[in-house]
Amino acid sequence: MCRYLGVNSREVIDAAATKPFGFMPFYPGPGIGGHCIPVDPLYLSWKMRLNGYEPRFISLADEINRAMPAQVFRLVSEALNEVGRAVKGSRILVLGVAYKRGIGDTRESPAYEIIDALSSRGAHVAYADPHVPAFLANGTQLKAVEPTEKELRAAHCVLILTDHPEFDYGAVARHGRLIVDTRHSIPEAVATRGRLVRL
> Looking at 12, 17, 36, 171, which residue is catalytic?
36
157 included as an active-site residue: no
Kindly report the three-state secondary structure assignment for every residue of the chain.
CHHHHCCCHHHHHHHHCCCCCCCCCCCCCCCCCCCCCCCHHHHHHHHHHHCCCCCHHHHHHHHHHHHHHHHHHHHHHHHHHHCCCCCCCCEEEEECCCCCCCCCCCCCCHHHHHHHHHHHCCCEEEEECCCCCEEEECCEEEECCCCCHHHHHHCCEEEECCCCCCCCHHHHHHHCCEEEECCCCCCHHHCCCCEEEEC
- Catalytic residue numbers? 36
